[in-house]
Structure 1
Amino acid sequence: MIFDPPLTTATLVQRYKRFLFDAVLPDGTAITGSCPNTGSMRGLTTPGSRIWMSEHDSPTRKYRQMLEIVEADDTLVGINTGLPNRLAEEAIRLGLVGDLGSYPHLAREQKYGRSSRIDILLSEPERGLAYVEVKNVHFSRTRGLAEFPDSPTARGAKHLDELGDMVEAGNRAIMIYLVQRSDCNRLRICRDFDLAYARAFDRAMARGVEAYAVKCQVSPRQIRPTGLMTVDEAALAAL
């Protein structure tokens, strides 16, 4: 994912109402922009943080600038939740996620489960279907360790149960955690923030759902998937 045109930098003043942020440009101009992340963004909204924004000239947009990257913990963190599906697809096509790149057919946003849509549906006549759900990850409170979720997510637990249903129906089901930061080498399910999600994760793994965490290199020029990291090693070992 290459940013074209290049991102511009600013200093964060505040992020508020989930969809908005205020910032100051290098020349001192105060601006308000849109935030493409409705989650808690825990640890990524500190006033004074350096940020990078994409610029949009469309007359239908209310705000010209959109937040893309925040500097936190001496690393760059991608916050745009509209990017993970594209980055996961890129990782699959590059052969970074197990054998998923060998499936010849890939479709996006297909209906399945309980009134849901699967992010990526892979298919091959002899092997059948592989359902791929993608989650964005940007939370870290211990160096080297990414965690998900950063706030309770009943919807995320529902998706895990639906993936388990797909396995029991004779298909493959895969959970991809797309980590938009470069300073982590393993991912842990955040049990102290959302025990219900953690239990849904454990159920899904026991039912045969596969889990991968994709590491990304993040820069103001591009965000690109680079490989895999360990997923909740302690939980997987206990199954």
Structure 2
Amino acid sequence: MEYPALVPGILQRRYKRFLADVRLADGREVVAHCPNTGSMRAVDVPGCRVWLALSDNPARKLAWTWELIELPQPDGTTATTSVHTGRANRIVEEALRAGRVAELAGYEQIRREAAVEGARLDFRLDDPERGTTFVEVKQVTLKESDGHGYFPDAVSVRGRKHLEALAALAARGQRAVLLFCVAHEGIEDVAPAAHLDPAYAASLHEVAGRGVEVLARRCEVMREAGVPLAIRLGPALPVDLARRFTGGQRSI
């Protein structure tokens, strides 16, 4: 997925869930739309460099949109992370259509959104020979102080509903897949965040035992002269359903 021209700034604060104050390089402070309804645990870090997109649509209340943040890592580097949850499905769809997710390649038809089992899942893949596969996408941005990635970053009742829908499909003999779209370049693996949502972690462990496939892929940000130009789904990451976070409350 290609970005529009992005402008760097320094995050001052995020507030009222959907607003962020950002100081641009020319000294101006602008209010940007924050397209993330979650807790943003570990990615809402004032003082970090962020990247904004500017819209010329006069009907928009806020012209700026917060797309990315560069998070400091223990080794002194930074990890670029997408905070725009609305991008995850587009990133995954591009990868599916290009056949870059080996486990989900080769389907004749790819459709967005499928209303099944009382829930709306993100993708339905159909093929005369392979049958139908349902895919639910979840964006992962939480890297905790133990160095591992976790999902969710807060209690997710909706997320458990999606797990139940996937499990019901699997019980009927349908292929059902949960795909973690890891939007944090510093995350090397994913586990359920039992320390934040024990019910989700228990449900994920249960549905995996009932036939739901769990995959994870990390996003890669392409740059030119340090400026992010595009983001795409990259390498597969391991998912460890048994791992539990036992550290403190500091996230990185």
TM bracket (short chain): over 0.9
Structure 1: distance between partners of 2:153 and 2:177: 21
Contact 1:78–1:218 (Cα < 8 Å) also in 2? no
Change (3 A) 1:144 1:88: farther
* SS of equivalent to 1:167: helix
Q: Name which of 198, 203, 208 aligns with 1:195.
A: 198
My pick for the range that moved more, 226-235 or 27-36, is 226-235
Q: Name which of 215, 221, 225 aligns with 2:229.
A: 221
* SS of equivalent to 2:137: strand
CA-to-partner distance for each residue in 1:13-37, whole Å, 9 max, x for gaps? 1101111111111111111110110
Letter of the structure 2 residue corresponding to residue 158 of structure 1: K
My pick for the range that moved more, 141-150 or 68-77, is 141-150
* SS of equivalent to 1:234: coil
My pick for the range that moved more, 43-52 or 165-174, is 43-52
Contact 2:205–2:241 (Cα < 8 Å) also in 1? no
Q: Percent identity?
A: 38
Measure how far apart 1:92 and its partner are. Answer: 2.4
Q: Which residue of 1 aligns with 2:71?
A: 72
Q: Name which of 205, 210, 218 aligns with 2:208.
A: 205
Q: Which residue of 1 aligns with 2:125?
A: 122
Q: Alignment length, in residue pairs? A: 233
Q: Which residue of 2 aligns with 1:99?
A: 103
Letter of the structure 1 residue corresponding to residue 99 of structure 2: G
Letter of the structure 1 residue corresponding to residue 184 of structure 2: R
Superposition CA RMSD, Å: 1.5
Q: Any gaps of 5 or more consecutive residues in structure 1?
A: none
My pick for the range that moved more, 144-153 or 174-183, is 144-153
Measure how far apart 1:177 and its partner are. Answer: 0.4
Q: What is the correspondence of 1:40-189 to structure 2 with a 5 Å cutoff?
A: 40-73=39-72, 74-114=78-118, 116-142=119-145, 144-189=147-192
Measure how far apart 1:94 and its partner are. Answer: 3.7
Letter of the structure 1 residue corresponding to residue 53 of structure 2: S
Contact 2:169–2:176 (Cα < 8 Å) also in 1? yes
Contact 2:11–2:48 (Cα < 8 Å) also in 1? yes
Letter of the structure 2 residue corresponding to residue 221 of structure 1: L
Q: Any gaps of 5 or more consecutive residues in structure 2?
A: 73-77, 223-227, 244-252
Structure 1: distance between partners of 2:98 and 2:182: 16
Structure 1: distance between partners of 2:136 and 2:114: 11
Contact 1:133–1:176 (Cα < 8 Å) also in 2? yes
* SS of equivalent to 2:148: strand
Contact 2:43–2:69 (Cα < 8 Å) also in 1? yes
Measure how far apart 1:125 and its partner are. Answer: 1.9
Structure 2: distance between partners of 1:96 and 1:194: 31
Measure how far apart 1:233 and its partner are. Answer: 5.4
Output the TM-score relative to the length of structure 2: 0.88
Measure how far apart 1:144 and its partner are. Answer: 5.0
